[in-house]
Chain A
Amino acid sequence: MKPLVLEVESLTKHFPLGGGMFRKVKNVVQAVSDVSFTVAAGETLAIVGESGCGKSTTGRAIMRLLEPTAGSVKLDGEEITEMSPGKLQAARRNMQMVFQDPFGSLNPRMTVRETLMEPILLHGVASGERAQKWVTDLLKTVGLSEHHADRYPHEFSGGQRQRICIARALSTRPRLIVCDEPVSALDVSVQAQIVNLLQDLQQKLGLAYVFISHDLSVVRHIADRVAVMYLGRIVEQAPAEQLFADPRHPYTRALISAAPRPVPGLRTAVEAAEGDAPSALNPPSGCAFHPRCPLATAECSQARPELRQVGDGGALVACHHADEPAPVVLETAPPASATLSARLGVLAAARAAAAETAKA
């Protein structure tokens, strides 16, 4: 068992609504409630869920970019939530973040060198010549070259900027990187590059990732374990393979069956979960998912299911009906149409011909 880098326990973040100069706090948005998980060195925990479910808030609360309302976050055994500003500043050396928007998360007035130099000097990672060398190394590590250092962020493409952001996150040699939807603003081919870069870096440096995403195919590729969030709570947490093969929570099943699959001719899969996500201002009684759940019973609207061990694969599920067999219903691909088969045939023939010429 590798050492735990991050231990999150009962993390809660509520936002008071209203409030201001002469107003009273009217409502509370329960963005994140009672979230617990751990991440070991070299491990990737993915947090998935639809927008507004509290994924990003969780990430920011871990980093203490938002003050958590309650709960504890331990980085290498050290409590983050109660650190004084000075100690927190020093602790930031060990936890870094990569943001969603590569166009907005770099200071447009600073060259790449200045951006990378900043954390290096701030945390005393290196100085003078060695710091310069480290910047060059970082750029090479993320697949950029030295002459990029003196350019400004607006001179780069989205994928390149995200590389710079990753380089910045690596600059202090952190233990943990929180990736908040690092690839969702990039186009698919660039996504693959960035995801692979993150994986290579993890192997090389033993980083722990908290990978926040709504893209299941990316998560499936990168994650060791997956936590599914719904309305501020973790509803299922399991090793990635198991989660995708045998999801136990009806919401996870809905997510997986709603994800697009690259199968030609496939119509939309089964009916997705009905209705919209309820408001975090006024979450439903009992299980938050019960108004949309196909398995809901009277019990579900009264008692909130606690996260509990289900099966022996290490899955934690918060559902009263987690033990009921309910496979993911995936629409089978329709037989390829005559036109499609004809086109594929032409392609195959062309490919075979190309192979022939290459051989000859």
Chain B
Amino acid sequence: MTLAATDPEEITAATEDGTASAAPPARAHWFRRLLRDRAAALALLVLALIILGALLAPWIAPFDPALNSRSVMTPPAWSAMGESQYLLGTDGQGRDILSRLLYGSRLTLLIGFISVGLGGAIGSLIGLLSAFYAKLDPWVMRGVDILLSFPAILLGLALVAVMGQGIVPVIIALAVSSVPDCARIARGIAVGVMKQEFIEAGRAVGLSDLTLFSRYLLRNCISSIMIFISLRFGQVVLIGATLSFLGLGARPPTAELGMMASQGREFLLFAPHIAVIPSVLIFVIVLSANVAGDALRDVLDPRLQA
């Protein structure tokens, strides 16, 4: 190897040649880049509409969700036997499905967001700390393993037995059951990040643990964790629906999507719309959350950009 004596100016010149010497165009805002992805834009639009509908339910719902009418099991308005005032038909007790859907998604989303938010935040924090302080790791993760052995449904049953029927025990059960999953995923991601040299470089610069944790570890894990949480959101909505299907969640006549599906189950053969419509909505919510979460990762991670 020969090392020709090079002066700094020459080095600079060599570098300049290799890269664009003009200042690059400013990067588009991440949200704009998110909307460039058509699937993500659609998923976000759908989610936004559903959330908007849920929020505005008291004003836009055509009927009281608990109001029984004489038109029982009317099919949706577009079918031959439909009635125009019941756009999506009525259920087995003559309640307007559209109104129940609006109110029901309210509760379903609320349960989903709160429990996944709580469980995800606590779980991720546990996982990240466990990776950051390697000494804590074996103890924390064994604790998480113990937590993992409680099935959400059993936990929900036990909590309902203690606290009585309602959405609070369901939220707690779902949050608690999200903690170990999130902790394990967060730890796995964080252990990979901790192995990289920039953590050591940060330490060499003299950063405090707090800065190192938040600016180096958390910032490099958060997008992957968010993906998992958005996937977990779908699961939680499903488990939540399962719990109310089992009669653990909201008390009737309050509407909840899982409960609506379970009530429609009896009439599946001659009035399928009663079970299918809320199920489709659950499906759409879960799918949109996953697609949007995925796209969000793509725009938030600078390494994934071309």
Contact = CB atoms under 8 A, between A and B. Distances in A.
Nearest to A159: B15
Interface string A93-117: 1001101110011111110000000
Interface in B21-61: 21-24
A195 interface: yes
Given A101-B197, A107-B220, A109-B219, A147 B206 contact: no
Contacts of A152: 302
Interface in A110-148: 110, 118-119, 122-123, 140-141, 143-145, 147-148
Contacts of B81: none
A221 interface: yes
A107 B193 CA distance: 10
Contacts of A156: 19
B23 A147 contact: yes
Given A107-B198, A160-B19, A65 B204 contact: yes
A105 B198 contact: yes
A29 to B, nearest CB: 17
B205 A119 contact: yes
A197 B15 contact: no
Nearest to A217: B1
B3 A143 contact: no
A65 B11 contact: no
Interface in A200-224: 200, 215, 217-218, 221
Nearest to B18: A157
Interface stretch (A41-49, A185-193, A336-344): A185-193
B216 interface: yes
Contacts of B139: 21
Interface string B69-88: 00000000000000000000
Contact of A92 (B7, B8, B15, B204): B204
Contact of A197 (B8, B196, B200, B302): B8
B11 A93 contact: no
Contacts, number: 122
Contacts of B19: 148, 156-157, 160
A109 B204 contact: no
A193 B207 contact: no
A267 interface: no
B149 interface: no
Nearest to B22: A147
A192 B206 contact: no
Given A65-B200, A197-B8, A160 B15 contact: yes
B187 to A, nearest CB: 16
Contacts of B3: 191-192, 195-196, 217-218, 221
Contacts of A159: 15
Nearest to B21: A145
B162 interface: no
Interface hub of A151, A163, A215 (most chain B Cβ within 10 A): A151
A99 B16 CA distance: 24
A9 to B, nearest CB: 22
A154 interface: yes
Interface string A231-267: 0000000000000000000000000000000100000
A157 B303 CA distance: 14
Interface hub of B6, B14, B220 (most chain A Cβ within 10 A): B6
Interface hub of A143, A157, A218 (most chain B Cβ within 10 A): A143
Given A65-B204, A96-B205, A105-B198, A193 B220 contact: no
B146 interface: no
Contact of A104 (B4, B7, B197): B197
A63 B138 CA distance: 28
B251 interface: no
A165 interface: yes
A88 B139 CA distance: 29
B24 A193 contact: no
Contacts of A151: 24
Nearest to B202: A107
Nearest to B13: A143
Contacts of A197: 8, 11
Contact of B11 (A88, A96, A143): A143
Interface string A147-169: 11001101011011001010010
A5 to B, nearest CB: 17
A154 B7 contact: no
A143 B302 contact: no
A144 B15 contact: yes
Interface hub of B12, B15, B21, B207 (most chain A Cβ within 10 A): B15
Given A63-B204, A145-B21, A160-B19, A196 B5 contact: yes
B258 to A, nearest CB: 39
Interface in B71-130: none
B66 to A, nearest CB: 49
A302 interface: no
A106 B303 CA distance: 12
A109 B197 contact: no
B204 A97 contact: yes
Contacts of A218: 1, 3
A97 B205 CA distance: 8
A285 interface: no
5 contacts: A65-B204, A97-B201, A105-B198, A140-B12, A143-B8
Given A107-B201, A144-B12, 8 more contacts: A21-B138, A99-B197, A105-B196, A107-B216, A140-B12, A144-B15, A159-B15, A196-B11
